[in-house]
Amino acid sequence: MKIPVFIDGNCRFCRFCAKILRRMCGDKIQIEYQGSLLFQSSVAKYPHSNWEIDSIKVLYGERVWIKSQAVEVVLQLAPWYYQILRVFFILPDKLLDKGYDFIAKNRLIWGKSVDECEINDFAK
């Protein structure tokens, strides 16, 4: 079963990140946008306050992971040669989440906003 990864943004940067995650994890993840039918059914099936937070979300082990913890969960699914990246996760979650928030806040600078999210194109 594929692990659902819900991307929150409507921008090139989010689509770029989704493409990287897809290349790293292949068929182990299913990338969806927040608003898809899978997202809506997951919110109903697994109620949690994390669904309300504007962030990447990963549904794994009947738990909703967000921000840097979501990235860590996805990275665990990647092949061995990506595991060196996990060294960053020895840092405290609060610090990693501040870094995530900084990138998320400035993502439109790095990837211009677009009219329509094309995450589903990368999920195929």
Residues forming a β-bridge with 29: 3
pTM: 0.82
Residues whose CB is less than 8 angstroms from the CB of residue 31 and which lie 6 or more positions away in sequence, other chains included: 5, 7, 18, 21, 22, 119, 122, 123
Condensed to tens digits (0 to 9), the pLDDT of residues 33-79 reads 888 999 999 999 999 999 999 889 999 998 999 999 999 999 999 99
Residues whose CB is less than 8 angstroms from the CB of residue 8 and which lie 6 or more positions away in sequence, other chains included: 14, 33, 34, 54, 55, 56, 57, 104
Residues in the chain: 124
